[in-house]
Structure 1
Amino acid sequence: MIKTPATGNAHMEHKSHPDKDGQVHIGRQPILNRLKKIFGYELLFRKGDTNGANVTDNVQATASVMVNALNNIGISRLIGDKIGFINVDDQVLASGIVDLLPGKSTVLELLETVKIDERVVELCARTRKNGYQFALDDFTAYDGAFEGMFRIASYVKIDLMATDRSALPELVGKLKKHNLKLLAEKVETHEDFQECRDLGFDYFQGYFFAKPSIISARSISPAQLVLLELSRFLAREEEFFVIEGLFRKNPELHIKLLQFMNSAAFYTAHKINSIGQAIALLGYRNLQKWVTLLLFADEGHDTTSAPLFERAVIRGRIMELLATRITRDTAAADMAFITGVLSLIDALFQVPLETILNDFNLSEEIHTALLHRDGVLGKLVCAIENLEQENYEEMQINLTDVNMTPGDLYVIENNVILEYEAMNGR
């Protein structure tokens, strides 16, 4: 069982000195295309132990994100081969600091607080000549004052939460006349996504893809059924020959495990040639983690563009590192990883969580965390979900319950994103 140590326990010393010294952390939120594949990321500014962005100076905020992305992290390590969206205003553009960003992979989001006048239009036009694209942020209604910017911008981001839905078709029609790509933000349900795609939106931002749409429940593929059976066997700690036999009866799974064991992701001094070797070397707990992740792999497609797979990997790994920080216990960390990944299983299979969990032989602690968001594991899942949704006050409450700080989570999130990109060779 994962227990939260009392405040002051040696395991819970928060080595957040970089946060207290003002280090900036960068989060990212995926932007999907019409096929629900990852097109790019909005880079999110987070500072120290504060909740959320806490941005009081746009120049400072943008400069901090850029310095961190370029010098401390490396933009390609942060977004891979995708497009990065970053917030700017007229002060940022006038300062010239955006010239440090790679033009081909950067979209500059002009904040909604910027008053559009001739000076701003000229600034944007001059910046675009250097290869940068522009997005107009948080559009809610058509405004003729933006005519000059419509000729410069490539994208318009429309805030679904703040826009009159009945006026959306007319707004889309007017903007499309300017050959602008439309990006719907705060897309939180599958119905939102479908409505916006039908209206002609090109891109979508929000965590709708991580939520189940029970109406569109789909059947479980034969390959996934095998993985579910294998997961049950591993959880029950079936005898070695039973596990090995299941691999032998499924050549595709057999090959995938050998490929994984001989890949850069799992370095071994000697080539692994047999399933028996692979299982013995990996161990049941690590094998169960691999099987759980494999459930989310999009068969026949590049998983680096699959948002649910990416979110499952990142959630699981963040959970694992948070649990390690709390307990220093490998078994607890493994439980946390599986909990993080399975917190998205209802979105994968498009069925109620309690239904699909019946196919897993989970511990009571994981079961409670997933169904009721209770216990330490449940609090950690809630904290990550609130971070994704930018519900920073709720996130702080979740973290306080387990004696952690936002700074702890931001550091781990940054490291996991970089680890994920490196794992994919980007």
Structure 2
Amino acid sequence: MKTYIARQPIYNIDKSLFGYELLYRNSEKNCYSSVDDDKATRELTYNVLSEFDFNSLTNEKYGFINFTKDSLMSDLPLLFNPEKIIIEILENVLLDQVLIDRVAFLKSKKYTFALDDFIDDGTYHEILPYIDIIKVEYNLLDSDIRTNIAKKYMNSKRLIAERIETQKEYNDAINDGYKLFQGYYFSKPIMISKASINIASSTYLRLWREISNEEPNFNALADIIKVDAGLTYKLLSLMNTPVYYRGRKITSIKEALLWLGLNETKRWVMLFFLRDASNTDNDEFAKLSLIRAIFMEKLIVKLGYRKMAQDTYMVGLLSMIENILEEDIISILDTLDLSDNTKAALINKNGIIYEVLGCIKEYELRNWNKVEEFNQRYNLDKDIISSIYLESLKYADDMLKIKEI
């Protein structure tokens, strides 16, 4: 499965980059699909936060994202760093006092707002005090309308002339007083894609059950996330975004959630639910990853390295990420600020954890001679490895069963 995003640059008057408008895409076709606007906003938000790195998408400039009324009223905007995102209010959003109050609240949290397809017909009069940027579809408006908008607002708002398609339109917009520009004259939207990880359906179901409680149990959430490799990867990726990163290496799922906090965790889990992220095709990947994690944790403790148990579990859980993301493990893990022990095993391929990972791989391949070599190296009884594997298999089967609500 692949995830798609398109981005179209927005330039300053000197043609330096101001930012990108991030656009919803759900296939290799570089065009907007006829989907519900709310769904498009939810999926784009999910993809930006969980599949891509926001700063990389925007070259550390501003990122414009379209928001519907429902998405503005939700917690979605609060998942973003207010210093980087520009919330673009769609032209078909109907104003009422509840929405105006919501925009005022988000404005108090330092969020920046843009109005899309502005024609100055009085529709947005009540919300204009909270608006920072006005976008005008330049080549679709009569010249006197777009000129009057510039004269009226150039000293109080930033003005973007969008749909600039020719040199003449660019020159005219400059003469009118516009300072920011977007359109095919500069660049069409550029597609970006990457392989995506889905959450196992069983994990998703348990997450939804727990987060639906009036007071979700923090430890229970950690235990649920811990058994799913895909969800673990998404959490660790989230923790390394500028919004949440605290300059400290994350060594466990529980530690990541403690740093994130319960409210932000609830928002994050709700984001998965809103996107309807469950996918039964991914359960086998989750199961194999979990078996490795449990097996390796039990074995490292058996070998006398109890302090390395958390790192070893993480290595086992992440050891199959490379298979599903179609990227090399180094480029994947470089985005995650993991412990030195974890990186030693997965990247440098050395250390006791790497040897334990090698043992489970040989066991999976039924290379019994290699497994016996491991037993002899660490003076283990020949039945220990099989016993630990069967325990891990039963644990994974129990954890990934989907029961009726």
Q: Given the two structures, how large is their TM-score scaled by the length of structure 1?
A: 0.43
State the TM-score, normalized to the length of structure 2: 0.45
Highest RCO, 1 vs 2 (Cα 8 Å, sep ≥ 6): 1
Structure index of larger Rg: 2
